[in-house]
A = this chain, B = another copy of it.
Amino acid sequence: MLTEDKLLGSIEAGGTKFVCAVAGDDFNIIDQETFKTTNPAETMGKTIAFFQKFNVASIGIGSFGPIGIKENRPDYGFITKTPKVGWSDFDFVGSLKAAINVPVFFTTDVNSSAYGEYQFGGVPKEETLVYFTIGTGVGAGVIQGGSFVGGRSHPEMGHILLRKHPDDINFPGVCRFHGDCLEGLASGPSLAARTGIKGEDIADDDPVWEIIAYYLAQAAWSATLDFRPDKIIFGGSVSSRPGLLAKTRQQFKLMNNDYLTVPALDDYIVHPAIENNGSATYGDFALAMFALRNAEKSDERA
C-alpha cells in the first residue's frame, strides 16, 4: 500500500511531448510537468529531474511504440523499432531505474488510456473495452477481464488494412511502413497530406471528415469482430473533431447491417469519459499502484 508520504508517478511518453505527473492514493494530481520530446538523453534527464523532486513509490509509464512490454523477453522496457530519430532500441525502463529505482509498469500509451478509462471511466469491471487513439499516430489498447489483450507484445491496430473510400482512391497514405493502412489514412498527418491544410484548420463541414469517419468505422467494425467489446473509445486529437463520431456511427451501422447485436451506438462508439486527454495519466497512476502491490507481494514471498 502507498504510505502517507509517498506518491504515485505517471509518465505519458508521447512522440511529440512527455507529460510527467505525481499523485497521492486518491489519484488527484499533485504536480505535473510537460516538455517536448527531443533526444532520449535530454528527455529522460528532464523526466528524472521531475521525479527526483518527490518521494515516489512507483511509476506507471504509457509510451509511444513499438515497445517491449513482456518482462520475460530481452526487449522488455525498450522502445524498439521507431522512425523517431535516436529512440530505436532505447532502454527506457533501464535508464529510468538507474536513477529512480522503484517498481514500474511499462506499457503503451493506448494501453494506459484504456486502463484509465477502465478504472475511472465508470465502466463496470466485467466489461471489455477498446481504446483507439487517432492523432499523430494511431493505435489501440484492449482490456478484457481486467487484463490487456496481446500475446507476444501489444496490439498494433494502427496498421490494419482498410477498404479505401471511393473519394480517396488516389491518396497513397502517409504510413512509412504500409502507406495506406489505418494510420496512413486516418492520422493527423494524413489530413494535412490530403488537403494541404493542417488538420486543426480544416473546417468541420469539409468532405474529408466523411472519409475519416469511413475509416474509423472500419476500425470500430474490426474491433467489434475481433474482441466483441462493450465499448469502443476514440481518443486523440483527430477523434475530438465535433460531429466525427456521429458520422462514424452511421457508417458502422451500414457495415454491421444488423448482423451483430451491439450496444446502442451512442453508448458504444464514444469519446473518453475522462476529460482533457487525462485517460493515460490516470491509467498510469492505477498501473503504478498495481506495480507497487505486485512488488510488495514478491517481497512477502521472498
> Within the oligomer, what is the number of copies of this chain?
2
- Closest B residue, CB atoms, query A222: B160
Q: State A257–B144 Cα separation when bound (angstroms).
A: 30
Main secondary structure of the interface of A (DSSP, over half): loop
- Cβ of A270 under 8 Å from chain B: no
B259 contacts A161, C-beta separation under 8 Å: no
Q: Is the CB of A228 within 8 A of B161?
A: no
Pairwise interchain contact A151-B127, C-beta atoms closer than 8 A? yes
Does A152 lie within 8 Å of B255, measured CB to CB? no
Chain B residues within 8 Å of A258, by CB: 177
A66 to B259, CA, bound (A): 10
Q: Which residue of B lies closest to A152 (CB)?
A: B228
Is A264 positioned at the interface, with any CB of B under 8 Å from its CB? no
Query: Which positions 155-197 of chain A face chain B at CB distance < 8 Å?
Result: 155-164, 177-178
What are 25 A-B interface contacts by the 8 Å CB criterion?
Answer: A128-B150, A128-B151, A128-B152, A142-B226, A149-B226, A150-B228, A151-B230, A152-B229, A152-B230, A152-B262, A154-B228, A155-B228, A156-B228, A156-B259, A156-B260, A157-B226, A158-B225, A159-B225, A160-B225, A161-B163, A161-B255, A163-B164, A177-B259, A178-B257, A178-B259
Residue positions of A touching B, CB distance < 8 A:
66, 81, 127-128, 142, 144-145, 147, 149-164, 177-178, 218, 221-222, 224-230, 255, 257-260, 262
